[in-house]
Amino acid sequence: MPDLIVPLYKLAAEAPREDGVVIRRAITPEMHVVCDFATQHFGRNWASECAVAFAAQPAGVLIAVEDGALLGFACYDATAKGFFGPTGVAEAARGRGVGAGLLMATLHAMRHAGYAYAVIGAAGPVDFYKRQCGAIEIPGSDPGIYEGMLR
């Protein structure tokens, strides 16, 4: 899976939501909720990345919440500076624009933090990123920073 690069200086505006899903930055007391969610839905490697993103102040973690329930999350600066991810949406909540909303909110947060580009590390759904935010594949980036990673 290659890394992708996203130019943040020409990022599209975030689309307003009218479906009751709130996408916002997480706060420290929510760390265990998000890490447990990441473990349950995606595995402990992603929970580790979430924990590191929570160590920043403000947390480098955006979450999607509906009626008090966590639907998904996205991180930045977790495994490397300037990296977007991991991100994940609970299977039952997919296909409702939650993943796209988390992506755009997080990329805007990175832009505000001073980055000109975001790197999407080991991108799984490459077409999703190409379509949502104009991501471009980085030649020679697979396996990149994750080579030999322990699981």
Q: Which residue is nearest to ligand COA (CB)?
A: 99
Q: How many residues bind ligand COA (CB under 6 A)?
A: 17
Task: Tell me whether residue 57 is exposed, middle or buried, using C-beta atoms within 10 angstroms of its C-beta: 0 to 12, 13 to 18, 19 or more.
Answer: exposed
CA–CA separation, 143 and 151 (whole Å):
15
- Smallest distance, Å, CB 57 to ligand COA? 25
The mark string for 68-87 relative to ligand COA (x by CB under 6 A, - otherwise) is: -----------------xxx
Q: Does 58 bind ligand COA (CB under 6 A)?
A: no
DSSP string for residues in 9-67:
GGPPPPPP--SS-EEEE--GGGHHHHHHHHHHHH-HHHHHHHHHHHTSSS-SEEEEEET
Is residue 125 near ligand COA by the rule CB under 6 A? yes
Residue among 31 and 100 whose Cβ is closer to ligand COA: 100
- Between CA 145 and CA 78 the distance in angstroms is 12
Report the alpha-carbon angle 115-35-2, nearest 5. 50
Region of 7-15, 30-38, 107-115, 117-125 interacting with ligand COA (CB under 6 A): 117-125
- 43 scored as a contact of ligand COA (CB under 6 A): no
Using the rule CB under 6 A, is 135 a contact of ligand COA? no
Interface contacts to ligand COA, rule CB under 6 A: 85-89, 94-100, 123-125, 127-128
